[in-house]
């Protein structure tokens, strides 16, 4: 009988502790959350031999996306002007959907009028190296938006696939390949390097996969994102270390993609894009790389504010000139 009494008292005590702890942890916190403020976002990048595509869209409240087409008229009724550095009008962008529809051609994938976004196009843009361009957006309600950027100068690289060799770095199998960047003098130049594998298995079908890169060169500026010896999707290089002279850069590309099965008869290539970019685009992608590394389940990850050069609103107007090296790896 005594044992039964002790058993019942123990569980009664335990339930009491749990109840008391629960009540003690209930703390009401009055959070003042700022009302959601909608912003217009402009994203566009100048490139040689390419139409200028301008994407306009509204920011969306987290967890509360707007209905399709809500307030889309504010975007569709906009005038999108391309200007030179002195403010002279060069051309007027055309709404992508209307432009292609009126010419009875198929609407490209980059054209969109969904989820409060629209695409404008300047199909006849003449890209000039080292020139300042401006974009001005005027709405019927009097609102205006401005952004400007300086296009990079043209540059060249030297690369010989025969100089590529396999090795290991930090326990990973990598390709080491040297590239010479022929830097323009009297300019502060910014470079972004990306790599991808390309699997070609028919005349029309290609399969692409991003490839991680390593760079230990002193000119690489990835150390303010994470450790310099870590793997990155993009390598960032400032020419402060070699301004105006040829610079030999030893890059390392992860060989992890070679471990995936290949389609019978397909050929594999490693493609490396070296882009000279405007300073604003350089800062934007650097923030984006930092965001990608902080995204996920890390409870200590800090929010990342992406760089913007759009007055009054958000987004980026940038420019880049890209050189590509490619070699077969299978």
Contacts of 169 (CB under 8 A, 6+ apart): 214, 252
Tens of pLDDT, residue by residue over 68-107, are 545 566 677 788 999 999 999 999 988 876 555 445 555 5
Whether residues 165 and 290 share a domain: the answer is yes
Domain that holds residue 174: 156-295+321-328
From CA 320, how far away is CA 281, in angstroms rounded? 8
* Residue at 312 is within a domain: no
For the record, the structure tokens of 92 come out as 């007027």
Whether residues 82 and 97 share a domain: the answer is yes
* Residue at 115 is within a domain: yes
When pLDDT is cut at 50, 70 and 90, the band that residue 2 belongs to is very low
Whether residues 184 and 137 share a domain: the answer is no
Query: Which residue matches tokens 């975007």?
Result: 75
Greatest CA separation for the chain: 99
Whether residues 184 and 276 share a domain: the answer is yes
pTM of the model: 0.81
End residue of a domain, out of 115, 130, 150: 150
Whether residues 255 and 174 share a domain: the answer is yes
From CA 55, how far away is CA 44, in angstroms rounded? 6
Q: Which of 150, 152, 120 is nearest to 274 (CA)?
A: 152
Phi, psi (degrees; rounded to nearest 5) at 273: -105, 125
For the record, the structure tokens of 141 come out as 């309600």
Whether residues 196 and 283 share a domain: the answer is yes
Tens of pLDDT, residue by residue over 15-59, are 555 555 555 555 666 666 666 677 888 999 999 988 888 888 877
Tens of pLDDT, residue by residue over 271-293, are 999 999 999 999 999 999 988 87
- Is the separation of the CB atoms in 255 and 309 below 8 Å? no
Report the range of poorest mean pLDDT among 89-103, 193-207, 275-289, 308-322: 89-103
CATH code, domain carrying 81: 2.60.40.1930
Whether residues 118 and 166 share a domain: the answer is no
| Cβ neighbours, 10 Å, residue 73 | 11
| Cβ neighbours, 10 Å, residue 59 | 14
| Angle ∠(72,73,75) on CA atoms, nearest 5 | 70
* Residue at 280 is within a domain: yes
């Amino acid at each position: 009988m005594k044992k039964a009494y002790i058993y019942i008292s123990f569980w009664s005590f335990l339930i009491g502790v749990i109840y008391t702890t629960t009540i003690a942890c209930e703390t009401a916190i009055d959070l003042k959350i700022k009302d959601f403020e909608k912003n217009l976002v402009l994203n566009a990048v100048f490139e040689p031999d390419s139409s200028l595509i301008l994407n306009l869209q509204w920011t969306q409240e987290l967890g509360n996306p707007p209905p399709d087409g809500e307030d889309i008229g504010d975007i569709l009724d906009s005038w999108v002007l391309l200007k030179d550095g002195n403010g002279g009008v060069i051309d007027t962008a055309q709404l992508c959907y209307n432009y292609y529809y009126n010419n009875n051609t198929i609407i490209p994938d980059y054209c969109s009028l969904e989820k409060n976004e629209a695409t404008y196009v300047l199909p006849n843009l003449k890209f000039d190296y080292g020139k300042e361009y401006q974009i001005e957006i005027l709405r019927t309600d009097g609102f205006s938006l401005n952004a400007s950027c300086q296009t990079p100068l043209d540059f060249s690289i030297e690369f010989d696939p025969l100089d590529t060799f396999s090795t290991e770095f930090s326990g990973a199998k990598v390709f080491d390949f040297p590239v010479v960047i022929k830097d323009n003098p009297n300019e502060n130049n910014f470079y972004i390097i990306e790599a991808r594998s390309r699997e070609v298995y028919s005349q029309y079908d290609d399969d692409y996969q991003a490839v991680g890169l390593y760079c230990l060169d002193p000119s690489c500026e990835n150390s303010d994102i994470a450790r310099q010896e870590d793997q990155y999707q993009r390598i960032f290089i400032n020419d402060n270390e070699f301004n105006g002279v040829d610079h030999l850069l030893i890059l390392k590309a992860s060989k992890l993609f070679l471990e995936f099965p290949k389609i019978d008869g397909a050929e594999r290539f490693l493609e490396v894009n070296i882009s000279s970019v405007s300073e604003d685009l350089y800062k934007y992608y650097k923030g984006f790389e930092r965001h990608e590394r902080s995204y996920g389940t890390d409870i200590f990850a800090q929010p990342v504010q992406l760089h913007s050069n759009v007055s009054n609103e958000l987004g980026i107007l940038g420019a880049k000139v890209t050189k590509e090296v490619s070699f077969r790896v299978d």
